[in-house]
Amino acid sequence: MKGLTFLANASAWTVASKAAEFKLGAEYNANDVKAKILVNPATKISDLTASYLASSKIAVGGDLTFDVKANKLSKCDFGVNWNPAGKAQVGLKHESASLALNKLTVFFSHAANENQTLGSNFVFDLNAKTVQGNLGLAHRFNADTSSKVKISHNG
């Protein structure tokens, strides 16, 4: 099958309390569709990531993590990203540990020029009934130096 790749992924950490991790999987990459599944043979935890470029301006995607041993979904994220014009982006993202609605994030960003990007996001936590707003500015001075300013409000 054209676009199919088999993967082996190993990770090790310097933190003594975290064990090394090994995953096996496959990745499919065609024109507008990308999908990847990774399975940890020891824990039987499976990660599935998929995205679809619906048009030149709209992309949708999702990320699921499923524990086969416990028969439990531990991550269910999905979202949509839209480029309405030039260097502007608008997005909506859902984050949850189940299929139920939990956290919705709406974000906006605009690359004003090669060196400056202005962005904001609003996080609506439907379980805790809270809203968080962030506004940020990133500036790149040169290839090695950049700065970011972020203002957050929790309410």
Partners of 8 in the beta sheet?
24
The set of residues, in sequence order, having a beta carbon less than 8 Å from that of 49 and lying 6+ positions away, is: 34, 35, 36, 37, 61, 62, 63, 64
User: Rounded to 5 degrees, what are φ and ψ at 10?
Assistant: -120, 140
Q: How far apart are CA 151 and CA 147, in angstroms?
A: 14
Domain boundaries, the chain: 1-78, 83-155
pLDDT-derived band at 42, boundaries 50, 70, 90:
confident
Mean pLDDT of the chain: 87
pLDDT in tens, 43-93: 888 999 999 999 989 999 999 999 988 888 889 999 999 999 888 999 999
Q: What does the alpha-carbon distance between residue 12 and residue 18 come to, in Å, rounded to a whole number?
A: 8
